Amino acid sequence: MFDRFTNGARKAMKLASQTAQQHNHGYMYSDHILMGIVKEENGLAATALKNLGVGLKEIGLEFEKGVKPRTDAVRTGKILSTLAYKKTIELAIEEARSLGHNRVGVEHLLLALLDEQKTKTTAQEILSALGLNLKDIRKEVLSLLGKEDPKKKTKKKKNQKESNSCSNDW
């Protein structure tokens, strides 16, 4: 499943799994993935968050506030994936492709967690509770990558097509 992931992204996912295990959660949720991302401190995603004034300590404290005992305690020692987890992986792959990248990095995982239009996540709630604007995080990640937002390009092209197709003949 993680064939197209960078070593950093694999490490972040392993750290996410460890976070779930430490809290006796049998399933992986978006908040675990966020914790894995910030624990992979060498990643571009953690750098983007640090640039916006938030690091592992702040996210960890907010994560701990929201940790609730879940009935999915680990019995087999294996962490299972939720639909939200699978959706995050799909979105991360989509983000990598849209940016012209062949591999999924930690930054793509973070971008996937930020996509409010496709999914609402606990990770988004944590970041918002820390006073971060999800669009600002996206801008920072893309700035560090030296890329323009491909989603904005798509919107611009769509708007141009619509305006070109409008007739001025009255």
Please report which helix (H) or strand (E) contains residue 150, including its range.
helix 150-165
Is pLDDT at 114 greater than 70 in this prediction? yes
Q: Is residue 76 part of a domain?
A: yes
Q: Say which residue, 30 or 2, is predicted with more confidence.
A: 30
Buried b (16+ CB within 10 A) or exposed e, 73-98: ebeeeebeeeebbebbbebbbbbbeb
* pLDDT tens sequence across 8-38: 999 999 999 999 888 888 888 899 999 999 9
Domain that residue 39 falls in: 7-165
**What's the rounded mean pLDDT across residues 124-146?**
95
Q: What is the pLDDT of residue 133?
A: 93
Q: Is residue 2 part of a domain?
A: no
- Structure-block tokens of residue 161: 């097509």
Q: Say which residue, 169 or 89, is predicted with more confidence.
A: 89
Q: Is residue 107 part of a domain?
A: yes
- Domain total in the chain: 1
* pLDDT tens sequence across 45-104: 999 999 999 999 999 999 998 776 655 554 556 677 778 888 899 999 999 999 999 999
CATH number of the domain residue 153 falls in:
1.10.1780.10
Q: Is residue 1 part of a domain?
A: no
- CA of residue 14 relative to chain centroid, distance: 15
Q: Is residue 170 part of a domain?
A: no
Q: Is residue 63 part of a domain?
A: yes
- Structure-block tokens of residue 22: 């430490």
Q: Is residue 128 part of a domain?
A: yes
Q: Is residue 54 part of a domain?
A: yes
